[in-house]
Amino acid sequence: MNAIELDRVTKVYRLYQGSRGIVKEILLRRPYHHPFWALKELSLQIARGVTFGVIGNNGAGKSTLLKLITGTTTPTTGSLRAPGRIASLLELGTGFHPEFTGRENIHFTAVTMGISPKEARKQVEEIIDFSELKEFIDQPVKTYSSGMYLRLGFAVATAFDPDVLVIDEALAVGDQSFQKKCIDRIHRFKEAGKTIVFCSHNMYQVRQLCDQAVWLHRGECRALGVASEVVDRYSDFLRESKTEARPVHSPRHPLSSIESATLANLTGQPCDQFLTGEGLQLRIRARFAERFIPNLGVAIVRNDGVVCYCTNTAEDHFLLKREGDGIYTATLEFPRLELLSGQYHFSIATTDERSLQAYAIVESTCSFTVRNIGSEYGLVRLHHQWR
């Protein structure tokens, strides 16, 4: 059973240059606006009880999607179905009127949410308790601090047993002890099998909290599915865009060159997708002029340029295998690759006998992807134990 269904939903905002454009458009029956495509043909289903993450860069259409789900705006084309009571934690407390007391604002907010006065009355005490505003509740909310405002907003928004909770970054509000109450309440919703739609820039939070996710990019769906996978793909993309793609150069050094490098798993099958903890082999063929003591240096680099690990054959006292005619081979094996989710590649160099001077260098070769299951986050898995 789906809590929310979007079928090829498109949202186009019309950007006018002032009212004049609108009037011209009505009178002359010709468009006088720039269309802005906030969402393009987005289809997704959110099953009941799922915590669903929405990620993407600024301007990707995340808030448009949340607004559509909340129902405050409607799709330009396509259809959206979201039965059930939806509580929005976006812009908490903005519906309050400063001249009215906290109690009056609770009632009014409830009524705007379509809650009957009777049901609202039942919850009022609980809301006041939760917001910890007992002694201020009969004061106009204009006298409240911004923290008190948010506390009341959170308490009201979550009080009326919603079926769907729409949350953005501001997951928790107020001081630390109140933040804990907010998070606890959200977890209780999750445990009670409510649907939660959660929009955040914090990839760690999305990985932790969400079952499924969508990655939006300029209004289009780039990835949709299991949250950790979507987060990983988005993280790859973020790191990628931070560094300019460097050209893969393999200069023909007169004395040495790298002939080939291939990736495989432990059984020797070519492979470029690994899970954390799986094994990886890198096979290298290189050419050296005869008067060298051949050595190789290898680096694993993440796609944002972070060097994860470097080693070389001189350090490890390994002698390359000679295959005649100046060709040498070596296989570097990582029996357990402890890298976490991300996109990585190798940089390989032929070096002098002490591995100080690099001759031929091949950068950004043998790209591979690592995925880890579970909520570990970061660069590498460090061996650890809890006592």
Partner 1 sequence: MFTSLRDRIFLLRDLTLRDLRLRYVGSIMGLFWSVVHPIFTLLLYTLVFSQVIRPNWSQLQTIGSFASYLFAGLLPWIQFHESITRCATVFIDHSNLIKKVKFPVELLPGSMVLSSIANQLIALCVFLALLLLSYHNASLSLFWLVPAIALQMLVTVGAGLLVASSNVFVRDIHQLLGVGLPFLFWATPIVYPPASVPARYQWISAANPLTHLVALYRAALLGGQAPETAALLYLSLFCAATFAAGWALLCRIRGVLSDYV
Contact residue for partner 1 among 51, 88, 351, 365 (CB under 8 A): 88
Using CB under 8 A as the binding criterion, the count of chain residues that bind partner 1 stands at: 29
Q: Which residue has the tokens 């809650």?
A: 115
93-112 footprint of partner 1 as x/- string (CB under 8 A): -xx-x-xx------xx--xx
DSSP secondary structure letter of residue 145: -
With contacts defined by CB under 8 A, name the span among 87-95, 180-188, 353-361, 378-386 that binds partner 1.
87-95
User: Residues 34, 35, 37, CA angle at the centre, nearest 5°?
Assistant: 145
Give the burial class of 231: count Cβ atoms within 10 A of its Cβ; 0-12 exposed, 13-18 middle, 19 or more buried.
Answer: buried
Query: CB-wise, 88 or 257, nearer to partner 1?
Result: 88
Contact residue for partner 1 among 74, 260, 331, 375 (CB under 8 A): 74
Amino acid occupying residue 176 = Q
Taking each helix axis as running N to C, give the angle between helix 117-131 and helix 102-112, from 0 to 180 degrees, rounded to the nearest 10.
130
Q: Is the dihedral of CA 143, 149, 155, 158 positive or negative?
A: positive
With contacts defined by CB under 8 A, name the span among 16-24, 268-276, 300-308, 338-346 that binds partner 1.
16-24
Give the burial class of 171: count Cβ atoms within 10 A of its Cβ; 0-12 exposed, 13-18 middle, 19 or more buried.
Answer: middle
Side by side, the strands of the sheet bearing 321-322 are: 256-264, 280-288, 327-334, 321-322
> Is 274 in contact with 265 (CB distance < 8 Å)?
yes
Query: CB-wise, 144 or 237, nearer to partner 1?
Result: 144
Q: Is 73 in the site for partner 1 (CB under 8 A)?
A: yes
Query: CB-wise, 118 or 291, nearer to partner 1?
Result: 118
C-alpha–C-alpha distance, residues 348 and 364, integer Å: 9
With contacts defined by CB under 8 A, name the span among 17-25, 201-209, 246-254, 325-333 that binds partner 1.
17-25
Q: Is 251 in the site for partner 1 (CB under 8 A)?
A: no
Q: Is 70 in the site for partner 1 (CB under 8 A)?
A: yes
CB of 2 to partner 1, least distance (A): 18
Residues that bind partner 1 in the complex, under the rule CB under 8 A: 13, 19, 22-23, 67, 70-74, 85-86, 88, 90-91, 94-95, 97, 99-100, 107-108, 111-117
